[in-house]
Structure 1
Amino acid sequence: MADGNPFAGEVALTLDGRRHVLKLTLGALAELEAGMEADSLVALVQRFETGAFTARDVIALLLAGLRGGGWHGQAKTLLEAEIEGGPMECTRVAALLLGRAFALPGA
């Protein structure tokens, strides 16, 4: 399955058999920062770089990315969804999403 448009910071995830495009917009990043248990977004990036992230980090990233991509669901809906690829796919998508949000264009 396609991973969304990497040049636009997008990543795709399939929830309950339906493909969604995730993107960390400025609003999504602000929501993520407000709801996360880290001092800053840089701290969140560092947790992913060092492998010290939590399931809560993955969920927060997915939720923010889904909302940035136009999804209007609630956290409960995400938590109860059948996610294609399971926890490993969630982690892969969250890491890609975070990396693409802060990648320099053309890099």
Structure 2
Amino acid sequence: MSIFPNSKRGEVAFEIDGKTHKLCLTLGALAALETAFATENIQQLGAKLSVVSAQDILVVLAILLDAGGNHFSVDELSKAHIDAKSAALAIAQTFEAAF
């Protein structure tokens, strides 16, 4: 698997513990986010994600990483070296790339 993100697929590069991984917002990832945040549609999900906790960011990262072909549990991510500002930026870029 290539570590270089495919911008045509909406992939975004993200570094965890010094290694580059890919984030991607697929339809399956969107459905997983709706389930994880107990929302019924994209509009409700957007409202829920307008104010997030650190735990919420870890959940979103885990789902977007999985869609990008990199499985990490929320627990694994909570123990990893992740820059919070970079995480928020990468998540925003992933959503922007998908829409």
Q: How does the TM-score come out when normalised to structure 2?
A: 0.78
Cα deviation 1:57-97 (Å, max 9, x = unaligned): 322221111000111221111111112xx111111011111
SS in 2 for 1:34: helix
Root-mean-square deviation (Å): 2.2
Give the Cα–Cα distance (whole angstroms) in 2 for the partners of residues 76 and 69 of structure 1: 18
Which structure 1 segments of 5+ residues have no match?
none
Report the Cα offset of residue 55 of structure 1.
2.8
Give the Cα–Cα distance (whole angstroms) in 2 for the partners of residues 39 and 92 of structure 1: 25
Give the Cα–Cα distance (whole angstroms) in 1 for the partners of residues 25 and 54 of structure 2: 18
Give the Cα–Cα distance (whole angstroms) in 1 for the partners of residues 31 and 69 of structure 2: 15
Aligned length, in residue pairs: 96
Task: Give the ranges of 4+ consecutive aligned residues of structure 1 lying more than 4 Å apart after TM superposition.
Answer: none
Give the Cα–Cα distance (whole angstroms) in 1 for the partners of residues 24 and 56 of structure 2: 16
Partner amino acid, structure 1, of 2:37: M
Alignment of 1:1-107 (within 5 A): 4-46=5-47, 51-83=50-82, 86-101=83-98, 103=99
SS in 1 for 2:76: helix
Report the Cα offset of residue 27 of structure 1.
1.8
Which structure 2 segments of 5+ residues have no match?
none
